[in-house]
Structure 1
Amino acid sequence: MARDYPPRPLVGIGAVVFRGEQVLLIRRAKPPRQGEWSLPGGLQKLGETVFAGACREVMEETGIVIRPVGIVDVVDLIERDEATGAIRYHYTLIDVAALWQAGEAVAASDAADAAWVGADDLEARVAWSETVRIIDEARLLCATGAGAG
């Protein structure tokens, strides 16, 4: 199915991966939000659980092995074509909090770059306020151990 101008919403999985106080970010190599720093993630595959999808996407994009902790939130990303008003992108994004287990962050697959970022540098790198909010909520989830899963 086409990712732009889809006939129905697509399910995406994002992973908020922590290594100590740092969070793993990737620079998106493809639309939507191409060139922006974001969470690693991608489309859920048929027959794949949300946690398995998060593990797969993080491995594909960064080479990092993670341990999912819980689901943080579900976010809608809907972008319209400015000229026609048609829906250009419609994703239902399931964000998963996770902890780093092994590996070094190396950009691969759909990522142009990958980096561990501290809280003091987060808002300077991340353009979408929803991503910052999700990271903050994931940090609380990991700190309390209140994850569902």
Structure 2
Amino acid sequence: MDRFEPISQTALRELREETGIEAELGPLIEVYEIMEPPSEACQDGFHYVLIDYLARWLAGEPVAGDDADQACFVTLEAALNLVVEDDLKDVLLKSHALMGARQTD
């Protein structure tokens, strides 16, 4: 986040910078806090807070940012097969359920 930047603007800016996608931000899906103590692999350890929102694509073709090998649109089933972390699978499933609920409103 940039100083005094609202979380919603940060989410949209990061999405645009990391993938080239323009989107409309939807509701909050989940907040994850990940803490790893110092270890041989990571001497300082780390503490991340990940804030996941549902977003509706508006424009742009996905392009991988500097921290990804590739970026593309896939089906939910394909995404679940690609993702190995349980928390990421959880975000995908919650997002998909929320999208279905929003379409019936």
TM-score bracket relative to the smaller structure = 0.7 to 0.9
Q: Which runs of 4+ in 1 moved over 6 A?
A: none
Gaps of 5+ in 1: 1-43
Q: Is the 8 A contact 2:76 2:92 kept in 1?
A: no
Which residue of 27, 36, 49 maps to 2:6? 49
Structure 2: tracts of 5 or more residues without a match:
none
Post-superposition CA distance 1:3-52 (Å, at most 9, x none): xxxxxxxxxxxxxxxxxxxxxxxxxxxxxxxxxxxxxxxxx222111211
CA contact (8 A) 1:58 1:65 kept: yes
Determine if contact 1:62/1:105 at 8 Å carries over to the other structure.
yes
CA separation in 2, counterparts of 1:48 and 1:61? 17
Point out the structure with the larger strand share.
1
- Percent identity reads 28
For these two proteins, the number of residue pairs brought into alignment is 102
Q: Is 1:112 aligned to residue 69 of structure 2?
A: yes
Change (3 A) 1:87 1:56: same
Contact 2:19–2:62 (CA<8 Å) still a contact in 1?
Answer: yes
Structure-1-length-normalised TM-score = 0.61
Of Structure 1 and Structure 2, the greater helix share is in 2
Q: CA RMSD in A?
A: 2.1
Structure 2 CA distance for aligned equivalents of residues 116 and 90 of structure 1:
29
Q: 1:77: Cα distance to partner? A: 1.3
Scaled by the length of structure 2, what TM-score is found?
0.83
Q: Does 1:64 align with 2:21?
A: yes
Partner residue of 1:24? none
Q: CA-to-partner distance for each residue in 1:118-139, whole Å, 9 max, x for gaps?
A: 1221232111110010111122
